[in-house]
């Protein structure tokens, strides 16, 4: 069977928003991962199905970006469409135009909106009003496109997701929230280790636990990193201080002592563990250079997979 014949869009997402993986069905998450896998295989063969010819994606950025901007823009081009970069400071929304008015206006020009925003509430308001699909490129609470790329990476390297264990060590932030939901949908075991006071949202943990109950997955939290990493197939971390939290840097450096993913910590994982990081990374802070630059690291494969996972999202919603 050719790659093109294997390609199946997630039809139930046509015209829909993608704001958080918690709002998707398990089969939709699985479908996006498999579609990303096929689209990547086609791309490696030099084949780019023009599924989105004539479609325009508007990309609004309130936060700086490398991977999100370039992967979405490249993805639209590869699928035959076009992407427009819009810095929020250059839009009237940056000068006080309401989110509602902006949503109405953009709905008349574009086929979809991807937004990388400070507040999830703002993205939710945009999606509630817009007549076109809205894709969450990152907010303070969720980062669903990153988590889809994470699943794709584990699926590639390990051959499957169900029953695998992934350990997340660090801040219970937006990346952690989406990873927890993604792992639950996939029937994985996810063990999260954070310092007390930096735990993931209880609502996210409760929602993910409910999802895991129907997929055979398992969700847990601990304040002991070595416990979380024990016999893990994948070890994941993120920066300790995210954009907008710079004033907390000194406090966080103190709170996260003992949480750096180093050689001693990953010795608790399986010998063939894979290391993941959504990037950018601070070597010597949340991860040792010997780990992120070592033979078990898949961070650049993971970064590339943002492109293919997001093509799956774009093709399905459009």
Residue positions annotated with a catalytic role = 116, 143, 146, 238, 278, 306
Task: Write the burial class of residue 105 (CB in 10 Å: 0-12 exposed, 13-18 middle, 19+ buried).
Answer: middle
Residue 67 annotated as binding site: yes
Residue 143 annotated as binding site: yes
Residue 92 annotated as binding site: yes
Task: Write the burial class of residue 160 (CB in 10 Å: 0-12 exposed, 13-18 middle, 19+ buried).
Answer: exposed
Contact 259, 229 (CB under 8 A): no
Residue 279 annotated as binding site: yes
Residue 230 annotated as binding site: no
Residue 106 annotated as binding site: no
CA within 13 Å, CB half, 305: 29
Residue 102 annotated as binding site: no
**For strand 82-87 and strand 56-61, is the pairing parallel, antiparallel, or unpaired?**
parallel
Q: Residues with Cβ < 8 Å from 50, sequence gap 6 or more?
A: 79, 80
Residue 174 annotated as binding site: yes
Residue 164 annotated as binding site: no
Q: Residues with Cβ < 8 Å from 49, sequence gap 6 or more?
A: 4, 7, 39, 42, 79, 80
Residue 278 annotated as binding site: yes
Instruction: Indicate the annotated binding residues for carbamoyl phosphate.
Output: 65-68, 92, 116, 143-146, 278-279, 306
Instruction: Indicate the annotated binding residues for L-ornithine.
Output: 174, 238, 242-243
Instruction: Indicate the annotated binding residues.
Output: 65-68, 92, 116, 143-146, 174, 238, 242-243, 278-279, 306
């Amino acid at each position: 069977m050719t790659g093109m014949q294997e390609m199946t869009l997630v039809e139930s997402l046509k015209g829909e928003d993608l704001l958080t993986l918690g709002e998707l069905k398990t089969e939709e998450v699985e479908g996006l991962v498999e579609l990303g896998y096929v689209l990547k295989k086609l791309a490696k063969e030099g084949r780019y199905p023009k599924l989105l010819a004539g479609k325009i994606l508007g990309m609004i950025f309130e936060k700086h970006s490398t991977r999100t901007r370039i992967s979405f823009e490249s993805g639209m081009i590869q699928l035959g469409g076009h992407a427009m970069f819009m810095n929020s400071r250059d839009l009237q929304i940056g000068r006080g135009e309401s989110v509602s008015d902006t949503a109405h206006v953009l709905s008349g020009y574009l086929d979809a909106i991807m937004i990388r925003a400070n507040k999830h509430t703002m993205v939710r308001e945009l999606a509630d009003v817009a007549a076109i699909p809205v894709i969450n490129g990152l907010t303070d609470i969720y980062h669903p496109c990153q988590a889809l790329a994470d699943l794709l990476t584990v699926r590639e390297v390990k051959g499957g997701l169900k029953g695998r264990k992934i350990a997340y060590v660090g801040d219970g932030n937006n990346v952690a929230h989406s990873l927890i939901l993604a792992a639950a949908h996939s029937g994985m075991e996810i063990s999260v280790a954070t310092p007390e006071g930096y735990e993931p949202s209880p609502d996210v943990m409760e929602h993910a636990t409910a999802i895991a109950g129907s997929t055979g997955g398992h969700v847990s939290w601990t304040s002991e990193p070595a416990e979380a990493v024990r016999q893990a197939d994948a070890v994941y971390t993120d920066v300790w201080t995210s954009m907008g939290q710079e004033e907390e840097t000194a406090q966080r450096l103190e709170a996260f002592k003992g949480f750096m993913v180093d050689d001693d910590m990953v010795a608790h994982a399986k010998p063939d563990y894979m290391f993941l990081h959504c990037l950018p990374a601070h070597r010597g802070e949340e991860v040792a250079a010997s780990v992120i630059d070592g033979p078990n690291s898949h961070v650049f494969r993971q970064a590339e997979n943002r492109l293919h996972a997001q093509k799956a999202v774009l093709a399905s919603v459009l």
